[in-house]
Amino acid sequence: MTTEITLRVRSLAELPRGIEPPRDLWPAIAAQITGEQRQPEAQPRWQWALAAGLAALMIGVLLGRMSVTPQAELVARSALFDAKFVTQRNQLRSSVLQQVAALPLAERDKLLRSVTALRRAVEDIQSALGQDPGNALLQELLVNACQDEMTNLSDIRNSEMKL
Amino acid sequence: MAASVTAFESIYREHSPTVFGLCRRLTRDTAAAEDATQETFLRAWRAFAQFESRSAIATWLHRIAVNVVMETRRRKSAQMLTFVAEPLPERDGEWVLDTPVEMAELEAAVLALPQGARDVLVLSGIYEYSHEETAAMLGIAIGTCKAQLHRARRLLTDKLSPEAAA
């Protein structure tokens, strides 16, 4: 025969602070931690690809500035829309937007405003370059705007990974 | 601070009951509390390098847990939380029942409290955080925190000692 002891209390401080979870949550946590530990190995390659894309962009712009012959303009323009660079940027952008979507409203709005403002700046400069492809100032502005956009996206992505 | 998975597991083993207890009381749902506990420890792992050893690890984990629960609530409901101002208590002593009640009865009465009052009561009454710490964790004003605690205690008294309320 067992006797059940009923504990009686008079204050909140007497309640136990800890409650054992009904199941062990550690295996799922450990699996995610281990998965995240593997990711940094791939990050340098991703960053190198971005750097290579930006380098291609700058070489293209330099070529464009050295000569305004139709062929050089073509090289510059093809570099400005380097497919690999655009793909990397789009991937980073969509990953950041997914992360931002999980944030509280105020923080999300603030980050989205900065991301959108930089994207618009890039698009505006690209549009101006479409009308004046040989304009060295616009080309330089575009490189700077692209760099600012990438830095902004990378900063958001890295800061979101921390917490 | 280099964090090894083994060392972090020992932190999980030591602190998961209080983190789960806190999440369970704030969410009133076992599955949601499990998710919140898991997310708390994942965030703690990611931010472990920034952990300042001068602050207690339990407090640090509790802050993360409260953030996780609050974020989940905000995602689930876009409704604005409204708070009806109530008079502040004149004294802020410990809340003690005249007649002891069963532990399960008190726990159930706490869980039955309205969300805002329950949040404050759990953090300051059970986990014994100060008004300042509780208000900071919940992102509310200290005055609101005191008023919610007063409200929670009054509701608990009404529920557990009807004769006192009469």
Q: Taking the C-alpha atoms of B46, B47, B53 and B54 in order, what is their torsion angle to the nearest 10 degrees?
A: -150
**CA-based end-to-end distance of chain B:** 57
User: H/E/C letters for each residue in chain A?
Assistant: CCCCCCCEEEEHHHCCCCCCCCCCCHHHHHHHHHHHHHHHHHHHHHHHHHHHHHHHHHHHHHHHHHCCCHHHHHHHHHHHCCHHHHHHHHHHHHHHHHHHHCCCHHHHHHHHHHHHHHHHHHHHHHHHHHHCCCCHHHHHHHHHHHHHHHHHHHHHHHHHHHC
| Residue B166 forms contact with A (CB below 8 Å) | no
| Residue A29 forms contact with B (CB below 8 Å) | yes
Give the whole-angstrom CA distance, residue B58 versus residue A44. Answer: 35
Residues in chain B with CB shorter than 8 Å from the CB of A25 are 12, 16, 20, 34, 37-38, 41
Question: Do A19 and B30 contact (CB within 8 A), yes or no?
Answer: no
The pLDDT, as a whole number, for residue B101 is: 86
| Residue B101 forms contact with A (CB below 8 Å) | yes
Optimal mutation site among A15, A36, A98, A160, interface B, most CBs of chain B within 10 A? A15
- Among chain B residues, the shortest Cα distance to A101 is held by B75
Cβ pairs A/B, distance under 8 A? 106
Q: B20 and A19 in contact by Cβ < 8 A?
A: yes
Name the strand (E) or helix (H) holding B102: strand B96-102
Residues in chain A with CB shorter than 8 Å from the CB of B74 are 104-105
Nearest C-alpha of chain A: how many angstroms from B95? Answer: 6
- Read off the pLDDT of residues B35-46 as tens digits, 9 standing for 90 and up: 999 999 999 998
Identify which of A13, A25, A161 has the shortest CB distance to residue B46: A161
Q: B21 and A19 in contact by Cβ < 8 A?
A: yes
Q: How is residue A129 written in tokens? A: 């370059």
Q: Which residue has the higher pLDDT, B165 or B111?
A: B111
Residues in chain B with CB shorter than 8 Å from the CB of A36 are 45-46
Lowest mean pLDDT among A44-53, A73-82, A154-163, B155-164: A73-82
Highest mean pLDDT among A114-128, B8-22, B66-80: B8-22
Q: B20 and A18 in contact by Cβ < 8 A?
A: yes
The pLDDT, as a whole number, for residue A6 is: 65
| Residue A26 forms contact with B (CB below 8 Å) | yes
| Residue B51 forms contact with A (CB below 8 Å) | no
The pLDDT, as a whole number, for residue B85 is: 45
Give the whole-angstrom CA distance, residue A12 versus residue B107. Answer: 9
Q: Which residue has the higher pLDDT, A147 or B166?
A: A147
Catalogue the long-range contacts made by A45-50 (C-beta closer than 8 Å, 24 or more residues apart): A46/A88, A49/A84, A49/A88, A50/A85, A50/A88, A50/A89, A50/A92, A50/A150, A50/A154
Give the whole-angstrom CA distance, residue A96 versus residue A114. Answer: 12
pLDDT at residue A11 is higher than 80: yes
Q: B45 and A15 in contact by Cβ < 8 A?
A: no
| Residue A10 forms contact with B (CB below 8 Å) | yes
If one counts every other C-beta atom within 10 angstroms of the C-beta of residue B71, the result is 15
- Read off the pLDDT of residues A116-158 as tens digits, 9 standing for 90 and up: 777 777 777 777 777 777 777 777 777 777 777 887 788 777 7
Chain A residues 38-97 with CB within 8 Å of chain B: none
| Residue A101 forms contact with B (CB below 8 Å) | no
| Residue A20 forms contact with B (CB below 8 Å) | yes
